[in-house]
Structures are given as C-alpha cells and as structure tokens.
Amino acid sequence: MATVTEVRARMMARAASIPTRQLCEALEILDAKRDTDDAERLTRSVLIDTLCERHPEADAAFGAWANGDDVNFHNAVKAITSAARATSRR
C-alpha cells in the first residue's frame, strides 16, 4: 500500500499537467463543501500547492492570508484562485 507521501507526490505530478482554470474550478468545488474527508483535504492541499508553485502571485496571496488575521479559509481560496486566474497563461 502506498504511503500518503507517495500518493501526494503522484497527485502533484498529475496536477502539474492540468490547466490553471481547471485547478481553480476543482479547488472552488472542494471549498464549497461543508465537510471534507481526508482524501478531499489532501486533494485541496495538492491543488493549492500546485497553483502556488505555478503562480507566484497566488503564492503571495496565500502567504498574505496565512500571515494575516483572517481565519476564514474561503477567503484564502478566493485569493489564490483570483491571483492564479489573473496571471494564468494556460
């Protein structure tokens, strides 16, 4: 059985080939769910990491949220997806 680290590495590799628009849509769908299970939380972290690696502006937006006083994760998702879409070339 694969470890979580191995599964995450495979997910990251796969996510790298998915266009930004689709990554943002998937992240927003997960963010809209009230309760998420472990697999969905892992997927959400992969989507965020992929967008932040691909788009420095999304990484900066996430960092600003993480270092601020806002504890609403929905706002972080909005900031990440907005920045990624604004700077997306693919």
How many helices and strands, by DSSP H and E, does the chain display?
A: 5, 0
- pLDDT over 80 (residue 83): yes
Instruction: Compute the mean pLDDT over every residue in the chain, rounded to the nearest whole number.
Output: 94
- pLDDT over 90 (residue 88): no
pTM tops 0.85: yes
CA atoms within 13 A on the CB side of 85: 13
Containing domain of residue 79, as a range? 4-87
Query: What single-letter amino acid sits at 69?
Result: D
Give the mean pLDDT of 50-66.
95
Give the mean pLDDT of 36-41.
94
Number of domains in the chain: 1
